[in-house]
Amino acid sequence: MEKLIITAAICGAEVTKEHNPAVPYTVEEMVREAKSAYDAGAAVIHVHVRHDDGTPTQDRERFRVVLDAIKAAVPDAILIPSTGGATGMTPEERLQPTELMPEMATLDCGTCNFGDDIFVNDMPTMRAFGKRMIENNIKPEYECFEIGHLDTVLDMANKGLVPGAPMQFNFVLGVAGCTPATVENLAFLVNKIPAGSTWTVTGVGRGAWPMAAAGIVMGGNVRVGFEDNIYLERGRKAKSNGELVEKVVALAKLLGREVATADEAREILGLKK
Determine how many CB atoms are found less than 10 A away from the CB of residue 196.
Answer: 9
Share of the chain above pLDDT 90, in %: 96
Q: What was the pLDDT predicted at 62?
A: 98
DSSP state of 92: H
pLDDT by residue (tens digit) across 122-162? 999 999 999 999 999 999 999 999 999 999 999 999 999 99
Q: What was the pLDDT predicted at 106?
A: 98
Give the domain ranges of the chain. 6-269
Average pLDDT of the chain is 97
Q: What was the pLDDT predicted at 123?
A: 97
Specify the fold of 6-269: TIM Barrel (3.20.20)
118-146 in b/e form (b: 16+ CB < 10 A) is ebbbeeebbebbbebbeeeebbbbbbbbb
Q: Distance between CA atoms of 222 and 228, rounded to whole angstroms?
A: 12
Q: What was the pLDDT predicted at 87?
A: 87
**Residue 273 pLDDT greater than 70, yes or no:** no
Task: Tell me the whole-structure pTM to 2 decimals.
Answer: 0.97
pLDDT by residue (tens digit) across 246-260? 999 999 999 999 999
Instruction: Give mean pLDDT, residues 222-234.
Output: 97
Place 115 in a pLDDT band, splitting at 50, 70 and 90. confident
Strand, coil or helix: 13: coil
Q: What was the pLDDT predicted at 272?
A: 73
Instruction: Give mean pLDDT, residues 81-99.
Output: 95
**Residue 184 pLDDT greater than 80, yes or no:** yes
